[in-house]
Protein backbone atom coordinates (compact mmCIF):
# COMPACT_ATOMS: atom_id res chain seq x y z
CA UNK A 1 0.00 0.00 0.00
CA UNK A 2 1.30 3.44 -0.92
CA UNK A 3 4.06 2.09 -3.19
CA UNK A 4 4.67 3.18 -6.74
CA UNK A 5 6.34 1.19 -9.47
CA UNK A 6 9.13 2.84 -11.45
CA UNK A 7 6.77 3.14 -14.40
CA UNK A 8 4.16 5.18 -12.56
CA UNK A 9 4.40 8.95 -12.86
CA UNK A 10 2.97 11.56 -10.60
CA UNK A 11 0.53 13.81 -12.44
CA UNK A 12 1.05 17.50 -11.78
CA UNK A 13 -1.12 20.53 -12.29
CA UNK A 14 1.10 22.85 -14.33
CA UNK A 15 0.04 26.49 -14.26
CA UNK A 16 1.11 28.62 -17.21
CA UNK A 17 1.18 32.40 -16.82
CA UNK A 18 1.61 34.26 -20.10
CA UNK A 19 2.51 37.95 -20.10
CA UNK A 20 2.54 40.25 -23.09
CA UNK A 21 -0.32 41.45 -25.28
CA UNK A 22 -0.13 39.18 -28.32
CA UNK A 23 -2.41 36.24 -28.99
CA UNK A 24 0.26 34.19 -30.73
CA UNK A 25 3.52 36.02 -30.10
CA UNK A 26 6.91 34.63 -29.15
CA UNK A 27 6.19 34.51 -25.41
CA UNK A 28 2.91 32.69 -25.96
CA UNK A 29 4.50 30.16 -28.34
CA UNK A 30 7.42 29.37 -26.04
CA UNK A 31 5.32 29.01 -22.89
CA UNK A 32 2.83 26.94 -24.92
CA UNK A 33 5.66 24.61 -26.01
CA UNK A 34 6.64 23.99 -22.36
CA UNK A 35 2.99 23.35 -21.50
CA UNK A 36 2.60 21.02 -24.51
CA UNK A 37 5.55 19.03 -23.19
CA UNK A 38 3.84 18.83 -19.80
CA UNK A 39 0.68 17.56 -21.51
CA UNK A 40 2.74 14.96 -23.39
CA UNK A 41 3.98 13.73 -20.01
CA UNK A 42 0.40 13.32 -18.79
CA UNK A 43 0.22 16.43 -16.62
CA UNK A 44 -2.79 18.71 -16.35
CA UNK A 45 -2.29 22.23 -17.68
CA UNK A 46 -4.05 25.45 -16.73
CA UNK A 47 -3.21 28.59 -18.71
CA UNK A 48 -3.71 32.18 -17.60
CA UNK A 49 -3.12 34.90 -20.18
CA UNK A 50 -2.50 38.09 -18.27
CA UNK A 51 -3.89 40.18 -21.15
CA UNK A 52 -7.29 38.62 -20.42
CA UNK A 53 -7.43 39.40 -16.70
CA UNK A 54 -7.15 42.61 -14.71
CA UNK A 55 -4.33 42.54 -12.18
CA UNK A 56 -4.28 45.72 -10.12
CA UNK A 57 -1.64 47.39 -7.99
CA UNK A 58 -1.12 46.80 -4.30
CA UNK A 59 -2.04 49.76 -2.16
CA UNK A 60 -0.73 50.91 1.18
CA UNK A 61 -2.71 52.89 3.75
CA UNK A 62 -2.31 53.45 7.48
CA UNK A 63 0.52 50.93 7.72
CA UNK A 64 -1.36 48.18 5.91
CA UNK A 65 -0.84 46.59 2.48
CA UNK A 66 -4.12 46.60 0.58
CA UNK A 67 -4.76 44.14 -2.27
CA UNK A 68 -6.90 45.66 -5.04
CA UNK A 69 -10.27 44.43 -6.19
CA UNK A 70 -9.08 42.59 -9.30
CA UNK A 71 -9.04 39.21 -11.06
CA UNK A 72 -6.12 37.78 -9.07
CA UNK A 73 -8.58 36.01 -6.77
CA UNK A 74 -9.81 33.99 -9.77
CA UNK A 75 -6.27 32.67 -10.22
CA UNK A 76 -5.57 31.80 -6.59
CA UNK A 77 -7.13 28.31 -6.53
CA UNK A 78 -4.92 27.29 -9.46
CA UNK A 79 -1.82 28.87 -7.92
CA UNK A 80 -2.42 27.24 -4.54
CA UNK A 81 -2.87 23.78 -6.09
CA UNK A 82 -0.13 23.91 -8.73
CA UNK A 83 2.56 21.27 -9.03
CA UNK A 84 4.73 23.47 -11.29
CA UNK A 85 4.70 27.05 -12.57
CA UNK A 86 5.62 28.22 -16.07
CA UNK A 87 5.74 32.01 -16.36
CA UNK A 88 6.57 33.84 -19.56
CA UNK A 89 7.26 37.45 -20.31
CA UNK A 90 8.56 39.58 -23.12
CA UNK A 91 11.27 42.01 -22.04
CA UNK A 92 10.31 45.63 -22.53
CA UNK A 93 12.64 48.49 -21.60
CA UNK A 94 14.97 46.17 -19.75
CA UNK A 95 12.46 44.29 -17.59
CA UNK A 96 9.41 42.02 -17.72
CA UNK A 97 6.28 43.55 -19.23
CA UNK A 98 3.91 45.42 -16.92
CA UNK A 99 1.29 42.66 -16.84
CA UNK A 100 3.84 40.16 -15.57
CA UNK A 101 5.31 42.68 -13.15
CA UNK A 102 1.86 43.36 -11.68
CA UNK A 103 1.24 39.61 -11.38
CA UNK A 104 4.52 39.14 -9.50
CA UNK A 105 3.63 42.04 -7.20
CA UNK A 106 0.20 40.53 -6.52
CA UNK A 107 1.83 37.30 -5.36
CA UNK A 108 2.93 39.38 -2.37
CA UNK A 109 -0.22 38.14 -0.62
CA UNK A 110 1.69 34.81 -0.35
CA UNK A 111 4.77 36.49 1.12
CA UNK A 112 5.38 35.60 4.74
CA UNK A 113 5.88 39.32 5.46
CA UNK A 114 2.27 39.85 4.43
CA UNK A 115 0.72 36.73 5.96
CA UNK A 116 2.25 33.61 7.50
CA UNK A 117 -1.06 31.82 6.86
CA UNK A 118 -1.08 32.73 3.15
CA UNK A 119 2.62 31.86 2.80
CA UNK A 120 1.75 28.26 3.66
CA UNK A 121 -0.68 28.14 0.72
CA UNK A 122 2.01 28.82 -1.92
CA UNK A 123 3.31 25.44 -3.15
CA UNK A 124 7.02 24.71 -2.95
CA UNK A 125 7.28 23.63 -6.59
CA UNK A 126 9.51 24.06 -9.64
CA UNK A 127 9.27 27.21 -11.75
CA UNK A 128 10.18 27.67 -15.41
CA UNK A 129 10.90 31.33 -16.24
CA UNK A 130 10.50 32.09 -19.95
CA UNK A 131 11.89 35.30 -21.44
CA UNK A 132 11.60 36.54 -25.02
CA UNK A 133 13.35 39.64 -26.32
CA UNK A 134 14.78 41.39 -29.35
CA UNK A 135 18.44 41.59 -28.28
CA UNK A 136 20.43 38.69 -29.72
CA UNK A 137 22.65 38.21 -26.65
CA UNK A 138 21.47 35.06 -24.82
CA UNK A 139 22.74 36.49 -21.52
CA UNK A 140 21.53 40.08 -21.90
CA UNK A 141 18.80 39.60 -19.30
CA UNK A 142 20.32 37.03 -16.97
CA UNK A 143 19.63 39.53 -14.18
CA UNK A 144 15.89 39.07 -14.83
CA UNK A 145 16.26 35.30 -14.43
CA UNK A 146 18.16 35.96 -11.18
CA UNK A 147 15.34 38.30 -10.09
CA UNK A 148 12.84 35.47 -10.65
CA UNK A 149 15.14 33.05 -8.78
CA UNK A 150 15.20 35.38 -5.76
CA UNK A 151 11.42 35.74 -5.74
CA UNK A 152 10.78 32.01 -6.00
CA UNK A 153 13.49 31.30 -3.41
CA UNK A 154 11.78 33.74 -1.06
CA UNK A 155 8.58 31.68 -1.49
CA UNK A 156 10.51 28.46 -0.81
CA UNK A 157 10.03 27.00 -4.28
CA UNK A 158 12.01 23.86 -5.06
CA UNK A 159 13.97 25.16 -8.06
CA UNK A 160 13.80 27.63 -10.88
CA UNK A 161 14.86 27.15 -14.48
CA UNK A 162 15.26 29.76 -17.21
CA UNK A 163 14.35 29.44 -20.88
CA UNK A 164 15.35 32.30 -23.17
CA UNK A 165 14.46 33.23 -26.74
CA UNK A 166 16.96 35.96 -27.53
CA UNK A 167 16.65 37.74 -30.86
CA UNK A 168 13.03 36.68 -31.19
CA UNK A 169 11.97 39.81 -33.10
CA UNK A 170 14.12 38.89 -36.11
CA UNK A 171 14.13 35.14 -35.48
CA UNK A 172 10.66 34.22 -34.13
CA UNK A 173 10.17 31.23 -31.84
CA UNK A 174 8.00 29.50 -34.45
CA UNK A 175 11.04 29.33 -36.78
CA UNK A 176 13.31 27.74 -34.16
CA UNK A 177 12.58 24.01 -33.96
CA UNK A 178 15.49 23.30 -31.58
CA UNK A 179 14.20 25.89 -29.09
CA UNK A 180 10.66 24.46 -29.33
CA UNK A 181 12.07 20.97 -28.83
CA UNK A 182 14.01 22.13 -25.75
CA UNK A 183 10.90 23.84 -24.34
CA UNK A 184 8.82 20.68 -24.77
CA UNK A 185 11.56 18.63 -23.11
CA UNK A 186 11.51 20.98 -20.12
CA UNK A 187 7.75 20.52 -19.90
CA UNK A 188 8.03 16.73 -20.11
CA UNK A 189 10.55 16.75 -17.27
CA UNK A 190 8.58 18.80 -14.76
Please report the sign of the dihedral spanned by the C-alpha atoms of residue 176, residue 169, residue 146, residue 104.
Answer: negative
pLDDT at 5 over 50: no
pLDDT at 2 over 70: no
CATH number of 19-188: 3.40.50.360
Query: Could you tell me the CA-to-CA distances from 10 to 63, 81, 121, 150, 178 in Å, in that order?
Result: 43, 14, 20, 27, 27
* Average pLDDT along the chain: 93
The percentage of the chain sitting over the pLDDT mark of 70, rounded to a whole number, equals 95
Residue 65's pLDDT is 86
- Decide if 89 contacts 148 (C-beta within 8 A): no
Quickly state the pLDDT bin for 4 (edges 50, 70, 90): very low
**Spans of all domains in the chain:** 19-188
- List pLDDT tens digits, range 85-116: 999 999 999 999 999 999 999 999 999 888 89
Residue 8's pLDDT is 61
Q: By C-alpha distance, which of 80, 81, 88, 75 is closest to 35? A: 88
- List pLDDT tens digits, range 140-151: 999 999 999 999
Q: By C-alpha distance, which of 117, 106, 113, 111 is closest to 69? A: 106
Residues 46-66, mean pLDDT to the nearest whole number: 93
Instruction: Tell me the backbone φ, ψ of residue 87, rounded to 5 degrees.
Output: -120, 130
Angle of helix 26-40 relative to helix 177-188, nearest 10 degrees?
40
Residues 41-47, mean pLDDT to the nearest whole number: 97
How many Cβ atoms sit within 10 Å of the Cβ of residue 162? 17
Quickly state the pLDDT bin for 7 (edges 50, 70, 90): low
Residue 54's pLDDT is 96
pTM over 0.85: yes
Amino acid sequence: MGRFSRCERITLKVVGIIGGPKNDGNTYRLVRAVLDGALDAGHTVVTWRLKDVYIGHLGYFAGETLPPNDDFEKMQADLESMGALVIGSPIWYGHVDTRTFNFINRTYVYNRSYSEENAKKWPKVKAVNVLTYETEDEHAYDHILEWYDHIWDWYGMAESQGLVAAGSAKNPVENRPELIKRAKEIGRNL
